[in-house]
Amino acid sequence: MSEAIKIIIVGDFNFTYNAHHATNLAIEHSAKLLDIDVNYYWMRTHEAASLKPAKFSNFQGVIIAPGPYENAFFLNGIIKAVLSSQVALLVTGESFKTFLEVIIKLYNLNPNQEKVISDNLAAENNFEKVEVQPVSKSMNSLYNERNRIELTNARYSIYPQILDVLKREVIDVEATNQFEEPEIISLKSRPFCVASMSLPQICSTREMPHPLISGFLNFASNWQEGGDVKKQG
C-alpha cells in the first residue's frame, strides 16, 4: 500500500467560512475516488511565510485556500517559495491575483509598474455563478470536454497588453469564463502549477468529486510514487 501523501493548505482557517470546510471535504471526496490516502494540514499564512522553499518539499502538494486572510501580504512570499520547490500547486479564489502579480514580477514582465489586473469585480461577501469553459487539451480531458457551472467570490480582468505577453511567455490558459477571460491558468515552466479564480472545492460532492481537485491529488500521488507524471490542468 502506498504511503499517504501530504498536502499543506495555506490559509487562515475559520470554521464560519463555507469555502474552508469545502476545501477539506473536496480533498476527501477526491481521495476516495482515487483510492489514495491523503494527510492534509492547514497552515496559517504567517506560519507559511516563515518556511523556506526546501520545507515545502516535505509535502507533495500545496493548496492556497480562499480568504479572507489575516494579512494577504504574506501570500507573495509564500507563492514565491512554493514556486521554488517542485511540489504541485493549486491556487484558488482571490489569491489568483496575487499569483499573477508574483509571476509578472518574477519574469519582469511589467518594468513600468503599470496596473495589469483589475481589482475584484465580484460582489463582496457573495458567491457568483461562473461558467468554466475548458480550452486546453489537458483541461478538456480533465473536464470530459464539458463546461461547468462553478461558484466564485473572485473575478479579475487581466489587461490585454499584459495578457498577450503572459500567454506567449509564461502561462497557458486552461479555461475561460462566460466573459471570455481566463478563469484557470497554469505556469508553462512547471508541472501542475494551476490557479483558478473560481472555487472548485465548493462544487465538489461525494458523488461527483471535482475533477480539478482530483487532478491535483492524482499528480501529487504520482509524484510521491516517482511515477511518470505529466502536466495536468
| Average pLDDT, integer, range 72-94 | 92
Mean of all residue pLDDT scores within the chain: 90
Flag whether 149 is in a domain.
Answer: yes
Flag whether 64 is in a domain.
Answer: yes
pLDDT for the residue numbered 227 = 43
pLDDT for the residue numbered 175 = 97
Flag whether 233 is in a domain.
Answer: no
Q: DSSP per residue over the chain, as a string?
A: -PPPEEEEEES---TT-HHHHHHHHHHHHHHHHHT--EEEEEE-HHHHTT--HHHHTTSSEEEE-----S-TTHHHHHHHHHHHS-SEEEEETTHHHHHHHHHHHHTT--TT----BPPP-SPTT--EEEEEEE-SHHHHHHTTT--EEEEES----B-HHHHHHHHHHTEEEEEE-TTSSEEEEEETTSTTEEEESS-GGGG--SSS--HHHHHHHHHHHHHHHT-------
Phi, psi of 87 (to 5 degrees): -75, 155
- Domain residues for 196? 5-225
Flag whether 182 is in a domain.
Answer: yes
Flag whether 216 is in a domain.
Answer: yes
pLDDT in tens, 39-56: 999 999 999 999 998 999
Flag whether 232 is in a domain.
Answer: no
| pLDDT at residue 24 greater than cutoff 60 | yes
| pLDDT at residue 231 greater than cutoff 60 | no
| Average pLDDT, integer, range 84-102 | 93
Reading phi first (left if > 0) and then psi (alpha if -120 to 50, else beta), residue 39 is in: beta
Range from 107-116, 143-152, 159-168, 192-201 carrying the lowest mean pLDDT: 107-116
pLDDT for the residue numbered 2 = 66
pLDDT for the residue numbered 232 = 41
How sure is the predictor about 233, in pLDDT bands with cuts at 50, 70 and 90?
very low
How sure is the predictor about 68, in pLDDT bands with cuts at 50, 70 and 90?
confident
User: 463546461: which residue's cell?
Assistant: 147
How sure is the predictor about 225, in pLDDT bands with cuts at 50, 70 and 90?
low
CATH of the domain at 139: 3.40.50.880
How sure is the predictor about 224, in pLDDT bands with cuts at 50, 70 and 90?
low
Flag whether 96 is in a domain.
Answer: yes
Flag whether 53 is in a domain.
Answer: yes
| Average pLDDT, integer, range 81-100 | 93
pTM of the model: 0.92
- Residue 84: CB atoms within 10 A of its CB come to 12
| pLDDT at residue 178 greater than cutoff 70 | yes
| Average pLDDT, integer, range 142-164 | 93
pLDDT for the residue numbered 46 = 94
User: What domain count does the chain have?
Assistant: 1
